[in-house]
Each structure stands twice: as structure tokens, then as C-alpha cells.
């Protein structure tokens, strides 16, 4: 079980990551769309469009991570943080340090990855 000190640590860590991500997501992308409106040759236009697409995919991934962080903070408040959602065992602190939003212990994560590999996902 996580000590109160560790819970505070992970809460601060998650909140800091959340603030950083929200700040990043809220940065304007206007300069990218302005670039698209200019006249370029086909190669330059393709590069600009690839950059725009990359930035939107990055923001989508950041949005998903924001949701995972909010969920981790909820689990922390409810007393379920650090408990594997699959086997109800504690998730090791080293794993939580490496991936604070995780919901699976290392054994269940390995099993999940093996299952996905066997199904060809």
C-alpha cells in the first residue's frame, strides 16, 4: 500500500504533468494553418500538410493522456491508485514511477501484451 507521502508525491507528479500537457495543448496552431494558406510548390505544400497532420495527431494523443491522468487522479482520491484493475494486487512503485497512469501491474501488463500478440493486434 502506498504511504501518504507517496500518495502526495504521485498526486503532485500527476498534477504537474496535467498542467504541462494542458498548457501544450492550448498553444495556438494558427501559424500552421497560416502556412497552409500560402502558395508553395507541391513538395513544400506536402511538407506543410504533413506537419499540420502530425501536430493534430500529437494533440489527439496528448488529449488521451490528459484523460488518463485525470483518471489516475480520481483513483488516487478514491483510494484505488496503485491497485491493478485486473488482479487487485499492488502495482510496484517502480512501475508507477515509470508510468504513473498505469492501471495494470507488470504481470498483468505482460499477460495483456502476450494475449494481443497471439491475437495479432
User: Is the pLDDT confidence value at 79 over 90?
Assistant: yes
> How much of the chain exceeds pLDDT 70, in percent?
89
pTM value is 0.79
* Residue 47: predicted pLDDT: 86
Q: Give the pLDDT band of residue 15 (cuts 50, 70, 90).
A: very high
- Of the candidates 28, 49, 29, 27, the residue with the CA atom closest to the CA atom of residue 38: 49
**Domain boundaries for CATH 1.20.120.910 within the chain:** 1-80
Cell of 70: 485525470
Task: With cut-offs at 50, 70 and 90, classify the pLDDT of residue 35.
Answer: low
* CATH code of the domain occupying 1-80: 1.20.120.910
- Look at residue 56 and tell me whether its pLDDT is greater than 90: no
pLDDT in tens, 16-27: 999 999 998 887
What is the reported pLDDT for 46?
A: 84
pLDDT at 38 over 80: no
When pLDDT is averaged across residues 34-43 and rounded to a whole number, the result is 66
CA-to-CA distance for 47 and 67, rounded, in angstroms?
30
| pLDDT of 99 above 60 | yes
Give the span between the Cα atoms of 30 and 42, in whole angstroms.
Answer: 21
The runs of H, that is alpha helices, within the chain are 4-25, 30-37, 42-78, 93-98, 106-119
Amino acid at each position: 500500500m502506498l504511504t501518504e507521502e507517496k500518495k502526495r508525491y504521485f498526486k503532485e507528479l500527476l498534477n504537474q504533468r496535467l498542467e504541462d500537457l494542458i498548457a501544450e495543448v492550448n498553444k495556438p496552431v494558427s501559424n500552421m494553418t497560416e502556412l497552409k494558406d500560402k502558395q508553395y510548390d507541391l513538395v513544400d505544400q506536402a511538407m506543410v500538410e504533413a506537419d499540420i497532420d502530425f501536430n493534430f495527431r500529437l494533440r489527439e494523443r496528448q488529449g488521451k493522456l490528459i484523460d488518463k491522468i485525470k483518471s489516475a487522479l480520481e483513483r488516487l482520491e478514491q483510494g484505488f491508485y496503485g491497485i491493478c484493475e485486473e488482479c487487485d494486487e499492488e502495482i510496484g512503485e517502480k512501475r508507477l514511477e515509470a508510468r504513473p497512469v498505469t492501471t495494470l501491474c507488470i504481470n498483468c501488463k505482460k499477460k495483456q501484451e502476450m494475449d494481443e500478440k497471439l491475437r495479432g493486434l
